[in-house]
A and B are shown apart, each in its own frame.
Chain A
Amino acid sequence: MTTTLVSVTSGRLGRARSRALLTGILAAVVVALVATSLMVGQTFYGPGEVLRVVLGQHVPGASFAVGELRLPRTTLALVAGLALGLAGVTFQTMLHNPLASPDVIGISSGASAAAVVAIVVLRLPESLVSLVAIGAALLTALVIYLLAYRDGVVGTRLILIGIGISAMLDSVVSYVIVRAATWDLQTAMRWLTGSVNGAVWSTVAPLTLAVLVLAPVLLAQARPLRLMQHGDDAAAALGVPVERTRVIAILAAVGLVALATAAAGPIAFVAFLAGPIAARIVGPGTSLMVPAALVGAVLVLGADLVGQHAAGNRYPVGVVTGVLGAPYLVHLLIRTNRAGGSP
């Protein structure tokens, strides 16, 4: 008994310590990437200059380049990454399936299609675009859920239906973009693959606010969601109000995806990749929400740096994350096929 108690306590503390350490390292990488994207560009500004600009002081040259151009862009990459990582891992945990992330099952596409239609066809102002995107994302989630419902929702059916819906909505985006001949390539790319180019505070601010509000809401559901991995009955037997948890989690996660998409377009595969990468890094058994949010931020910030500076051309962030995510999607689909249902 006492020896078991000692080993239980030390095992738990050891695992908790290593998770905290690894999460801390992830957070440090995020900070480093934020700093790098603020310093690097056509002109290099040192950390001192960047810090002064961020603190609101006037620095000739740097105030414009860093304050007006890089800061909104970097903030957008940071919060969009956090939002997508958090929303992705929420869906994956809730439906116990790595394929069930909002960007694979069409929720991002719903937000994206609605945003494009709102801008090009309806010519709505920016502030309304976010709202339209949220509404459309919720509607898409509801449609997928209803189509997949037959004596309860089976993950695989929901995913296949979601992939189909996603393809349909993506073609809506392409159609509208082709019709809107006046658009420049950059804007078009934003709605096709996601991009943080040309970020402005008017879209970055609502997303930042949403992350500040919705992230704590989701984090409060971390424990119940984790127990729902055992199945609804087992979770309820452990005291989880299953239906309420599910509704809160879906609303908050869809809201995050919709606002991230309204601001930066459907950045490919970040929501999909963040959870599995976080699980690899910190190990399973605990909540992956914080690590997955940080991995999401690392992916978007890192992909944007690579897209802007590493390749000869300037690629939007979604192209880079797409190149990373597509092989993993294929891998999971093959595994699902072999396992005859659930990966």
Chain B
Amino acid sequence: MTTAHTLVAEAVTLAYGDRTVVEELDLRVDDGRITVIVGANACGKSTLLRALARLLPPSGGRVLLDGKELHRQPTKEVARTLGLLPQSPVAPEGIVVADLVARGRSPHQRLLSRWSGADDLAVAEALDLTGTSDLADRVVDELSGGQRQRVWIAMALAQRTDILLLDEPTTYLDICHQVEVLDLLTDLNRDRGTTIVMVLHDLNLAARYADRLVALSRGRIVASGDPSEVLTPAVIRTVFGMSSEVVPDPVSGRPMVLPVGRHHSGRLAATA
């Protein structure tokens, strides 16, 4: 259903003004897999995602989509292959869900082109996949946080891109809605082959849902690969400056991080 793509960052340096945030970073996004980026606050996760989505031109190095430099391609053309859900998108006051989701069709439309049956189909499918069809006529401002997040994902789905980048899609959601959103993205990846790159805060959910985990610290990749290779106490100490225990997650068998902290570590002290 999707065609194969390559998305590669080659020695990219990313800066705001003269402030460098990411330096000479290399990353090859695995086609058809789920890549999750983790790291401390302000380490450059959003910045990296923005560069991968053509929103921030690199000050050094380059980002290649299918072998062609991303910033040399028209925005609209890129938007047909690669979608991004930013960290905090704004819904215009009073807009209804179906209209917002329909805006995901924009990259497929021309100035005076008419709305087509294919557009309606893409919108309906996005609503169904995200379980928001019942909300279609509701006003977005009046939805709960979880519902709203699913609607934004529906908009990104209506864009029908083979690559989807998401910046903290689960932040502000309760645990049940977090799992729901991540399950939905996994469905999308498994059923359609959509390549997913997302930033997540929760290390344990990241370990569970990632095919590949990328740990970022101060704009550099500290470790990258299978979650079981990346989530080690040593990497966690480098990235978050915190000591931790890593045990197998009884549900998935993936690694599970237990932060140690200064209190409540009685048993650990006793066994040590």
Contact = CB atoms under 8 A, between A and B. Distances in A.
A237 B75 CA distance: 8
Listed residue (A223, A232, A283, A284) with the most chain B CB atoms within 10 angstroms of its CB: A284
Contacts of A220: 111
B153 to A, nearest CB: 13
A227 to B, nearest CB: 6
B270 to A, nearest CB: 50
A285 B86 contact: no
Contacts of B99: 12, 15, 285-286
B133 A239 contact: no
B198 interface: no
Interface string A213-226: 00000001001001
Listed residue (A5, A12, A96, A233) with the most chain B CB atoms within 10 angstroms of its CB: A233
Interface in A257-292: 279, 283-286
Nearest to A16: B115
Interface in B194-212: none
Contacts of B83: 237
Contacts of A15: 96, 99
A118 B172 CA distance: 56
A229 B90 contact: yes
B177 interface: no
B133 A285 contact: no
Given A1-B128, A5-B121, A12-B102, A231 B137 contact: no
A4 B136 contact: yes
A4 B92 contact: no
B188 interface: no
Contacts of B50: 233
A96 B75 contact: no
A236 B56 CA distance: 10
Given A223-B106, A239-B75, A8 B88 contact: no
A144 to B, nearest CB: 22
Contacts of A233: 50, 53, 55, 84, 86, 89
B123 interface: yes
Given A1-B128, A7-B133, A285-B95, A237 B90 contact: no
Nearest to A280: B94
A9 interface: yes
B120 interface: yes
Chain B binding surface, main DSSP class? mixed
A231 B90 contact: yes
A151 B18 CA distance: 12
B39 to A, nearest CB: 19
Contacts of B121: 5
Given A4-B133, A4-B136, A12 B106 contact: no
B150 interface: no
Nearest to B96: A285
Contacts of B74: 241
A335 interface: no
A41 interface: no
A240 interface: yes
Interface string B2-39: 00000000000000100000000000000000000000
B184 interface: no
A238 interface: yes
A238 B159 contact: yes
A20 to B, nearest CB: 13
Nearest to B159: A238
B190 interface: no
B94 A239 contact: no
8 closest Cβ pairs, A-B complex: A239-B79, A239-B76, A237-B84, A239-B107, A284-B94, A285-B99, A5-B124, A233-B86
Interface of A: 1, 3-5, 7-9, 11-12, 15, 96, 151, 220, 223, 226-227, 229-234, 236-241, 279, 283-286
7 contacts: A12-B99, A15-B96, A96-B90, A220-B111, A230-B103, A232-B55, A237-B83
